[in-house]
Amino acid sequence: MLKNLMRVQKSKKDFSVTNNIWLKDTSLGWKSKGLLAYLLSLPDDEKICVKELAAHSTDGINSNLHKD
């Protein structure tokens, strides 16, 4: 479980800086880490919509339902 999650530092440039703790957390999969990185890069007041998230990726809404 993530106990020390930290928000990214906002910048006028198009990049994010974040703590590596959650990136090294082995309880999270790669898809989860990628999604979390994307969500943390959004503005603090951003409204999150699943359909909108799916539109910004090739995975789609039901990505985790298709296990390898």
C-alpha to C-alpha distance for 16 and 4, rounded to whole angstroms: 18
Q: Dihedral sign for Cα 18, 20, 25, 28, please.
A: positive
Report the pLDDT value the prediction gives residue 26, as an integer from 0 to 100. 93
- Span 9-53, pLDDT tens digits: 666 677 778 888 889 999 999 988 988 888 888 888 889 998 888
The radius of gyration of the chain's CA atoms, rounded to the nearest angstrom, is: 13
C-alpha to C-alpha distance for 34 and 38, rounded to whole angstroms: 6
pTM, two decimals, is 0.69
3-state DSSP assignment of residue 14: coil
More reliable by pLDDT, 6 or 34: 34
* Short-list 40, 48, 9, CA closest to 23: 40
More reliable by pLDDT, 34 or 63: 34
